[in-house]
Chain A
């Protein structure tokens, strides 16, 4: 399909483990965003990529969280030493990256559960 895709759709892990979440943006979209959504809350910004570089990572909660986008397309969000509080839906969004056309299109999310 032509939309944003995320894998896996669900991930269950144990406290202390390492996880990777993948995002495939819409083809041609240079901007890519990661958000985290906890139960009963709206999406909360984590990090933004323009091309290959992380232009704004001010939303990452601590140094256990890291994201890459090595070729300017697919992005991977990496979480080390997972904690139960990391349990949430992790959403990826992409946009054209052009001012005045900044609508972000979201993927279905990855539901992470840390036991």
Chain B
């Protein structure tokens, strides 16, 4: 059963505009959320994270919003640049004594059009 879902497999945005990538999760015990960016033939690269005690975290052009009641998080990229074109994965985890198993969504392929 997919505990983290990214329902949009692809997104196209004009350069300079805002990109909004969405992610939903089902497990209310998740307390840490991350976004990863992946280029072809490379491993996922960490982008930004948010703890469940916050509802927003910002890092330069990237902002992650968390709505715990809706079990929804989103990644905003403003302004979007052609170099942002990649597959974006959201991931969620719950810290346990046995470690921090991450559950990943299926990814959203973002294309930023120059």
Contact = CB atoms under 8 A, between A and B. Distances in A.
A43 B34 contact: no
Given A43-B44, A108-B43, A99 B95 contact: yes
Interface in A57-115: 59, 91, 93, 95, 97, 99-100, 102-109
A5 B90 CA distance: 22
Chain B interface helix/strand/loop/mixed: strand
B34 to A, nearest CB: 7
Contact of B43 (A44, A56, A59, A107): A107
Contact of A48 (B43, B45, B99): B99
Nearest to A42: B104
B46 A104 contact: yes
A62 B69 CA distance: 37
Nearest to B34: A103
Given A40-B106, A105-B46, A56 B101 contact: yes
Interface residues of B, number: 28
24 contacts: A6-B43, A33-B101, A33-B102, A42-B6, A42-B105, A42-B106, A43-B89, A45-B101, A48-B98, A48-B100, A48-B101, A50-B98, A56-B99, A59-B101, A91-B44, A97-B99, A99-B95, A100-B51, A102-B95, A104-B46, A106-B36, A106-B43, A106-B45, A106-B46
